Every structure is written in structure tokens, then in C-alpha cells.
């Protein structure tokens, strides 16, 4: 049996939230309102700076499911390209290098995320990872989302359960495996493997990592940059068509288009 490497997505493989990139793409396609986009922008900034607790994650799960009510599965699938346009520029090159080094050492690499399973699958294919584990956020009937939250939400302990099930089916040695995450909410996943690694950890996770002697990776943190970019995104959600380049911070933000 050989080990594997498991990567959280938001704030670990990428800067910020994949959920917000989905919200932007959905707004541009007319799936959600400007108000919802602004709300998601604020939630994204809060999540990026403070992380999310169980209650906030569960609330987000039901909010996403409700927002999907009546939407065709096909229409949501067609958003994948726009969502990737938001995610790919925000990937940490250092994390991709680490992932590919694992593959070259004969360890399969997986994305493990609370984002939708479909997004996990698409990203895994684009990044040439070996697979992805994601959430099933809304019930589907006759090709339409019902708006009722259903299935597994890959958050907290559920990530560890999914990893163990994958290890059992694929013959993966978890004692020889690696897991990467930025948040204390992923402690079950980190503790499920023999080599936990924390990435830009929050205060709680950093303390636990230091106590356990875990490896700590520090990549480019957004911090104050994101606060500025988030404020601009919220303001622009109800107005202009443009691309704002924050030369002083190095962040490029694509803003929504004004209705004509």
C-alpha cells in the first residue's frame, strides 16, 4: 500500500473562496441577483479573514441549496468555464508544485473540498490531479434542483470519513499520506493522515500545529489586500463595468457588468 496527498481547496490550493467565484459566475449568467452577489462578497471576505465555524458552514450549505431551486442542472454545469476563470488565476503555484512532487513520488493527489462534487471533478481534471472529493448540495428531480439540501456536505469530520472510505476502496495507506489545510475545521482530515501540513494557518490551527510538531507552510497572504479588494467588489456589484487592477497590492479583480 502507498500513501496519497489530500488538499483542501479554499485558502489552501487557492487564495480566497471558490464559492465566491461561483457566485460571480452565477450573477454574470443571471442565476443570482446583484444583492446576493454583494452578500456573497461580504461573506467571502469574512471567511477569508476569520474562517468559518460549523454553524456558518451549515447555514451556507442551506443558502446555496435554496438559491439553486428551479435551476436546470445543465445550466449550472455550463458555468464551469466561468468559475474556472475565477479560480485558476488564484491558485498558489507553490501548492501545485508540491502536489506534482507527490505524484512524481507515486502518491495520488486528491482535492477534498466542501465545494460541489462537480467542481471538484472538473478542477481535478484540469490540474491533472487523480481525483476530487466534494459536496452534494441540493436534491435533483427531473433535471432541476429542488432547493432542498441533501447528500454529504464535506466539512469537518465528513472530510475525514470521505478520506477513509477512499483509502479503503483504493488501497491507500493513510499513515504514509499527507493532508494540507489552512483551517482548524479540517483537523479531522489532518489527523486522519500520518503527515499533516498546515498552510497559512489561522491562530487556532497554528497553535495545534506547533504543539504537534506539524509542518507549517506560509504562502502569500492576502490580509489587508483582500479587505480592500472585497470592499471594491461589494461596491461594484451594484454598478460599473470594468477590471480594477490594484497595482499597489498586485490583485486583479474582475467586476460584474452593469445591466444595459
Catalytic residues: 8, 10
Q: Which of helix, strand or coil describes residue 140?
A: strand
Closest CA to 24 of 16, 14, 15, 34: 34
Strands 144-145 and 5-7: unpaired
Helix or strand holding residue 179 (H, E): strand 178-181
Coil, helix or strand at residue 156? coil
User: What's the length of the chain?
Assistant: 260
Q: What 8-state DSSP symbol labels residue 10?
A: B
Distance in angstroms between the alpha carbons of the first and the last residue of the chain: 59
Amino acid at each position: 500500500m502507498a500513501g496519497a496527498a489530500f488538499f483542501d481547496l479554499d485558502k489552501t490550493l487557492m487564495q480566497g473562496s471558490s464559492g465566491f467565484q461561483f457566485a460571480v459566475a452565477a450573477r454574470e449568467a443571471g442565476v443570482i441577483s446583484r444583492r446576493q452577489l454583494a452578500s456573497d462578497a461580504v461573506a467571502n471576505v469574512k471567511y477569508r479573514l476569520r474562517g468559518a465555524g460549523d454553524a456558518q458552514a451549515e447555514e451556507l450549505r442551506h443558502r446555496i441549496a435554496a438559491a439553486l431551486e428551479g435551476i436546470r442542472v445543465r445550466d449550472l454545469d455550463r458555468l464551469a468555464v466561468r468559475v474556472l476563470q475565477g479560480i485558476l488565476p488564484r491558485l498558489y503555484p507553490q501548492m501545485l508544485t508540491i502536489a506534482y512532487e507527490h505524484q512524481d513520488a507515486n502518491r495520488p493527489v486528491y482535492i477534498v473540498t466542501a465545494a460541489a462534487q462537480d467542481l471538484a471533478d472538473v478542477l481535478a481534471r484540469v490540474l491533472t490531479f487523480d481525483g476530487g472529493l466534494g459536496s452534494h448540495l441540493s436534491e435533483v428531480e427531473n433535471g432541476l434542483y429542488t432547493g432542498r439540501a441533501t447528500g454529504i456536505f464535506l466539512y469537518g469530520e465528513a472530510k475525514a470519513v470521505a478520506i477513509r472510505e477512499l483509502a479503503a476502496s483504493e488501497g491507500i495507506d493513510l499513515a504514509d499520506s499527507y493532508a494540507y489545510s489552512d483551517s482548524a475545521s479540517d483537523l479531522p482530515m489532518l489527523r486522519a493522515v500520518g503527515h499533516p501540513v498546515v498552510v497559512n494557518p489561522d491562530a487556532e490551527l497554528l497553535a495545534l500545529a506547533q504543539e504537534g510538531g506539524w509542518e507549517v507552510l506560509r504562502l502569500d497572504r492576502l490580509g489587508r489586500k483582500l479587505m480592500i479588494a472585497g470592499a471594491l467588489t461589494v461596491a461594484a456589484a451594484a454598478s460599473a463595468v470594468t477590471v480594477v487592477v490594484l497595482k499597489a497590492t498586485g490583485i486583479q479583480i474582475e467586476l460584474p457588468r452593469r445591466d444595459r
